[in-house]
Amino acid sequence: MKISAVSDDYIINYLREDPTDAEVRTMIAPMKTAALEYLAAHTGLDQSGLDQYEDLTFAYLMLIEDLYDNRSTTVSSSTRNKTLDTILSLHSLHNIG
């Protein structure tokens, strides 16, 4: 599935939240934007480039989930998600190697 094909309902289901909850729907809009901007900045790919790699869709969902789960200003863990880091490193145009 391409990132552009991911619906709000799919994201809400991924988050295991109530699809009829208007507050959840309102909260995910800026999280989707932030996740896309993070992916674009990290990889150097634009929207069409991001859509070329289906594994980036999973990274997109993980970023949204992380943003959703960590809505407070208190951070309980500073451990980076190794799966997310691996997926992003596979598609980074910024790495010289």
Average pLDDT, the chain: 87
pLDDT at residue 76, as a whole number: 64
Cβ 25 vs Cβ 8: under 8 Å:
yes
Sign for the CA dihedral angle at 39, 78, 6, 37 comes to negative
In the numeric block, the tokens 């990274």 are attached to: 59
Query: Is 70 exceeded by the pLDDT of residue 5?
Result: yes
Q: At 26, which amino acid appears?
A: T
Is the model more confident about 72 or about 42? 42
Q: Which domains does the chain show, CATH number per domain?
A: 3-90 (1.10.3230)
The reported pLDDT for the residue numbered 97 is 45
pLDDT beyond 90 at 71: no
pLDDT of residue 85: 79
Share above pLDDT 70 across residues of the chain, in percent, rounded to a whole number? 89
Q: Express each pLDDT in 27-60 by its tens digit.
A: 999 999 999 999 999 899 999 999 999 999 999 9
Angle (CA) 76-82-84 rounded to 5° is: 95
At residue 82 the predicted structure's pLDDT band, cuts being 50, 70 and 90, is confident
